[in-house]
Amino acid sequence: MGVSEVNHGPAEPSTGTDLHLDLPPTGSRRLALQHALRSAVRSGRLAPGTLLPPYRALAADLGIARNTVAEAYAELVAEGWLVARQGSGTRVAERAAPASPVRVPKKSPARARGPRFDLRQGQPDPASFPRTAWVASVRRAVNAAPHEAFGPGSPQGRTELRTALATYLARARGVRTDPERIVICAGFAHALRLLFGGAGGRGGGALEGPLAVEEYGLAFHRALLADAAVRTVPLPLDEQGARTDELRDQRGVLLSPAHQFPTGGPLHAERRATAVDWARARGALVLEDDYDGEFRYDRRPVGAVQGLDPERVVYLGSVSKSLSPALRLGWMVLPEHLVDAVLRVKGEREAWTGVPDQLALADFLECGAYDRHVRRMRLRYRRRRDRLVQALAARAPHIPVTGVAAGLHAVLRLPPGTERSTLKAARWQGLALDGLAEFRHPDATGARREGLVVGYATPPEHAYPAAVDALCAVLPPDGS
């Protein structure tokens, strides 16, 4: 059967698979096309099994006669470069061998095997993502969205999501806002970059430093601020949270009031009031990192500090802990005077967060799926927390466990001088853990704490019991 007799699909020239080929401006069109196709197969650019465009479509794309393409296809079929079957079009032959020697890539160095068990803090159980409910929200949101939603996005974020967030945050976190004071971003780190600059920008954000921070926190956030030329001043911590009474002439303070990261525990009510009073008196700002405010187990919910003074508190949140860090969706609830400044930094068009995800999250919030997911995960994480605490009480009762009333991690206080050796033993056993030392501000003057920050959310359900066993096995013995 000749190629011209094969059913290549619709005759409409604009349909079919796109194929880029460079043909010389002069000479035989058929020979040039055959040469270009052979070269594409030889180089591997057209892999075995690749479906080629219908000859009518390729002819229209290249501006040559249909018969020329049909003849070139037929010649390459005869040579064994292509195969043509009725009803399945023309494809690159499975045994089309390269005419030139294949370059064998150099072997890359073997990657180190990952840990057997991952108890590092910072992310939820990835297997728990509510795929079915999320897909339903995507479908509803995309079908209901106006046509303009698929044009250039607004840097403030879709009004559907900002409206849904204003309602949810008021109900669940005690935040006082309206949609016009919310700016959508790609997460907490992105919010810091918009507020202060960073990522090589050396400033240029909506705010300036110096900035007070809790003496224990993420080194990544401190590095981002340093990159923006923001000096950070550590605030000591005690059992009531950050010592906000030690705030002085900084331009702002960054706090995690609902559940201090990583030491655990809420910021005491008086300390909250002190921070807000200081911000009012100094014309400063409180930056509230509400990174896991939904997950509380043994106490009543602690509302957002933002509710005390919406004009002096910047509220920052995301779905990284509640849903997935892969979604890259976060929000800033801003004082009115900061909205335009942040939008100027962000630019004229949305460059970070996709509109379909924004629309889907709005639907996910409004239909109640977000609340149902959080309640389900709260129960699952509480069970994991309880299993960890019970195992430690039975096998390592000399190790105090703190910060477990909320959140996705626990802090195990270790005897002085044992943190480094415990982490080394954990690595030897294939157990990934974080030590408290890496979270300490380099300029902190308070007493050093030794311990482990144990994230109990990440391991899959089937591996969690073995991960807890491995943890207990590497802890220092009593009296060490």
Confidence label for 7 from pLDDT (cuts 50, 70 and 90): very low
Confidence label for 12 from pLDDT (cuts 50, 70 and 90): very low
Confidence label for 107 from pLDDT (cuts 50, 70 and 90): low
Q: Smallest Cα–Cα separation from 268: which of 293, 298, 240?
A: 240
- Please provide the average confidence, as pLDDT, over all residues in the chain: 89
pLDDT in tens, 395-427: 999 999 999 998 999 999 999 999 999 999 999
Q: Inform me whether the pLDDT recorded for 383 exceeds 70.
A: yes
Residue 166's pLDDT is what? 97
End-to-end CA distance of the chain: 84
Name 213's bridge partners. Answer: 234, 254
Q: Inform me whether the pLDDT recorded for 365 exceeds 80.
A: yes
Distance, in Å, from the CA atom of 291 to the CA atom of 468, rounded to the nearest integer, reads 25
Over residues 344-351, mean pLDDT = 88
Over residues 149-178, mean pLDDT = 95
Residue 453's pLDDT is what? 96
Q: Inform me whether the pLDDT recorded for 10 exceeds 60.
A: no
Secondary structure E strands in 239-383: 241-242, 252-255, 285-289, 313-318, 330-333
Q: In whole angstroms, how far apart are CA 342 and each of 156, 207, 271?
A: 9, 9, 28
Confidence label for 446 from pLDDT (cuts 50, 70 and 90): confident
* pTM exceeds 0.85, yes or no: no
The pair phi, psi for residue 452, each rounded to 5°, is -120, 140
Q: Inform me whether the pLDDT recorded for 99 exceeds 80.
A: no
Distance, in Å, from the CA atom of 51 to the CA atom of 92, rounded to the nearest integer, reads 7
Domains of the chain, with CATH numbers?
A: 3-92 (1.10.10.10), 129-367 (3.40.640.10), 372-474 (3.90.1150.10)
Q: Could you tell me what percent of the chain has a pLDDT over 90?
A: 65
